[in-house]
Structure 1
Amino acid sequence: MRRLRSMTAFGGPGVWLWRWRRNPLRRRSDVLEAWIVSAAWLGTVVGGVLTGLAATHSVEGGLARERAEWRPVVALLTQDAPGATPASGSGAGRVWANVRWTGTDGVSHAGQARAAAGSPTGTAVTLWTDWDGTLVTQPSTASEAHLRAAMVGVMTGAGMAAVPLLGGRIARDRLERRRMAQWDEAWARFGSTWGRKTG
């Protein structure tokens, strides 16, 4: 019962703020530790949230530009597409084939694109190019872009939040080791005087 009371006494609402209150037993290292903990949590929460939001906004902006600038073009197979092979697995229905298309600048371009296996020469396939006429993948839809941006934002924010959190932990460990060394020094100085009679 006594142990339960002592645990309750140390778990009261004001116990966690004892380093901030005036107390004759409070040391400078206690105040320093309180500042370290506060700064670490502030950096973790604010830094993580702001970094995550900035990353999300940046990714969404980039994907929106891709949707606005990338254009579909129709290309024609310049030779028969290879037939499907058993080694192709689940993607056996689509194979790489040589294609040719005319860009928006009127210049003819050649490259490779995915086409149905066994398609004859001259078959039309749709591919995507950027403003420079370079082949690109199909841009993400708005919903895909939101999901991808949110995932990047969460991962980036979590990574950023870990930096001040770990930094605060390391600083507290170093402070604790220093405090223990000071206690050892104090014990060595005053421990030998215990038990002596004064006067």
Structure 2
Amino acid sequence: MAFRGPRVWLWRWRRNPLKRRADTVEAWVLLGTWLLTALLGVSAGHAAARSVENGMARERVEWTVVRGVLVEKAPGRTDRETADSRDRVWGTVRWVAPDGTRATGQIRVAPGSVAGTPVTVWTDRVGRLVSEPATAAEARLRATFVGGLVGLSAAAMPLVGGRLLCGRLRRHRLDRWDVAWARFDPLGDRRTG
């Protein structure tokens, strides 16, 4: 087992007669990689989270509740003892759009609901059917999740690029070392003894 001695922090930045130019270049590449990774990851994640949260806030303001009516009986049975309040089936509903025209669409309703049952319908400014907008807490959670994913994805690009560049620099440094060693020890392949 080789003895390694104490670890010296920032060794690539210190003056040393054995330090080569390739060590300095690799140090700058590593520093740039880490700075780009942090900067790009944080800024992309923050921008994505803000965009998602703003979009959901706009939906909460623009989307409105409209009273609709179930057009036909919903499939399934209305069995109050076995039915869960979260059980929903697709049913056709009709509502009046902001321009006064009648619109129809499909939403989730309780199973076995009869035709003519009043239902709540969410529409956009034009009167098209949309889902219920996310609450402020749900929007924050989604924005945080999306921002985290986008930030990690954006941070991965400079990190992978820096690792690839450092690998190429390392290979180049080892090749140059092989050339120098071959010049220094031309008889290195002979065995003694």
Residue 16 of structure 1, CA deviation: 2.9
Equivalent position amino acid for 2:12 in 1 = R
Q: Is the 8 A contact 1:84 1:93 kept in 2?
A: no
> What SS does the corresponding residue of 2:106 show, helix, strand or coil?
strand
Q: Over residues 11-35 of structure 1, what are the superposed CA-to-partner deviations in whole Å (9 max), with x where a residue is unaligned?
A: 1xxx232222232222111111011
Q: Which residue of 1 aligns with 2:141?
A: 147
Q: Which residue of 1 aligns with 2:5?
A: 7
User: In the aligned structure 2, how far is the partner of 1:93 from the partner of 1:183?
Assistant: 71
User: In the aligned structure 1, how far is the partner of 2:28 from the partner of 2:183?
Assistant: 30
User: In the aligned structure 2, how far is the partner of 1:24 from the partner of 1:90?
Assistant: 77
TM-score (norm. length: structure 1):
0.85
Q: Which residue of 2 aligns with 1:26?
A: 19
User: In the aligned structure 1, how far is the partner of 2:129 from the partner of 2:100?
Assistant: 16
- The equivalences for 1:1-199 within 5 A come to 3=3, 7-8=5-6, 11=7, 15-84=8-77, 93-192=87-186
Residue 184 of structure 1, CA deviation: 0.8
Residue 193 of structure 1, CA deviation: 6.8
Q: CA RMSD in A?
A: 2.1
| Structure with more of its chain in helix, by fraction | 1
Q: Is the 8 A contact 1:73 1:101 kept in 2?
A: yes
Give the unaligned 5+ runs of structure 1.
195-199
Q: Is the 8 A contact 2:44 2:150 kept in 1?
A: yes
> What SS does the corresponding residue of 1:140 show, helix, strand or coil?
coil
Q: Is the 8 A contact 1:84 1:95 kept in 2?
A: no
Equivalent position amino acid for 1:94 in 2 = R
Identify the range of structure 1 (91-100 vs 137-146) with the bigger mean alpha-carbon deviation. Answer: 91-100
User: In the aligned structure 2, how far is the partner of 1:137 from the partner of 1:45?
Assistant: 37
Equivalent position amino acid for 2:24 in 1 = V
Count of residue pairs the alignment pairs up: 183
User: In the aligned structure 1, how far is the partner of 2:128 from the partner of 2:116?
Assistant: 21
Identify the range of structure 1 (107-116 vs 34-43) with the bigger mean alpha-carbon deviation. Answer: 107-116
Give the unaligned 5+ runs of structure 2.
189-193
TM-score (norm. length: structure 2):
0.88
Relative to structure 1, the CA distance from residue 120 to residue 186 in structure 2 (aligned partners, 3 Å threshold; closer, same or farther) is: same
User: In the aligned structure 1, how far is the partner of 2:124 from the partner of 2:138?
Assistant: 19
Equivalent position amino acid for 2:17 in 1 = P
